[in-house]
């Protein structure tokens, strides 16, 4: 399964819990309760954190640390994409973008599956985007194309053979939606 779909399931599970919690909170806070003594009055005297606040802060800090470790480590399925940047490319493909057109070295660009491929994209005029899409519309990867003097570079390993489309992923004027090249890349099975 594509990593974005895994992330989507995890995300929706968490927000279902959040929404459920707020609904329960709304119901519970209307019922009963003893209108307890205002804890902030005591706090004024000691100028410190309440016990509940401390616990909550520790919980948030724990999430922060775990979250960052997860996000920066190779455990997360998508993290491998960042690590691929360190790989030595077996093939380099240079694409120029000019006047709303992708100028490809060949069509389709033939690349082998399972090996690091470097894409270098340069723009002669505007800021564009460079995205590679599966035939069912799912994004495989993308990057911004900052115009010259900058060179935009990404290394990718295609895992599945087949045809892929190229589309500009950044708005660059009303002609932008036509920057679409179907079957621009053909990944040869490894």
Q: Please, which of residues 23-62 interact with other proteins by CB under 8 A?
A: 25-26, 28-36, 38-41, 43-44, 47-50, 52-53, 56-57, 60-61
Q: Of these, 127, 161, 162, 186, which contacts other proteins (CB under 8 A)? A: 127
Can you tell me the distance from the alpha carbon of 127 to that of 55, in angstroms, rounded to the nearest whole number?
A: 47
Site for other proteins in 130-189 (CB under 8 A): 131, 133-134, 136-144, 146-147, 150-154, 167, 169-178, 180
- In 49-147, which residue ranges form alpha helices assigned H by DSSP? 51-72, 79-84
For residues 141 and 186, which CB has a smaller minimum distance to other proteins in the complex?
A: 141
Residues 95 and 123: beta-carbon distance below 8 Å: no
The minimum distance between CB 117 and other proteins, in angstroms, equals 15
Place of tokens 């179907």: 182
- The closest alpha carbon to 167, from 111, 101, 113, belongs to 101
Residue 67 interacts with other proteins (CB under 8 A)? yes
How many angstroms from the chain centroid is the CA of residue 52?
Answer: 34
The minimum distance between CB 159 and other proteins, in angstroms, equals 14
């Amino acid at each position: 399964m594509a990593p974005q779909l895994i992330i989507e399931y995890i995300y929706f599970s968490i927000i279902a819990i959040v929404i459920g919690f707020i609904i329960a909170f709304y119901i519970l806070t209307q019922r009963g309760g003893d209108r307890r003594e205002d804890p902030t009055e005591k706090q004024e005297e000691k100028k410190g954190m309440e016990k509940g606040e401390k616990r909550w802060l520790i919980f948030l800090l724990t999430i922060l640390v775990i979250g960052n470790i997860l996000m920066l480590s190779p455990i997360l399925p998508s993290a491998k994409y960042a690590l691929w940047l360190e790989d030595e490319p077996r093939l380099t493909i240079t694409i120029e973008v000019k006047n709303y057109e992708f100028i490809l070295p060949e069509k389709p660009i033939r690349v082998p599956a399972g090996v690091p491929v470097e894409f270098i994209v340069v723009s002669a005029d505007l800021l564009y985007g460079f995205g590679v899409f599966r035939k069912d519309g799912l994004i495989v990867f993308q990057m911004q194309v900052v115009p010259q003097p900058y060179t935009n570079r990404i290394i990718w390993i295609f895992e599945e053979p087949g045809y892929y489309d190229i589309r500009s992923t950044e708005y660059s004027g009303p002609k932008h939606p036509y920057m679409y090249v179907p079957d621009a890349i053909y990944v040869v099975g490894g």
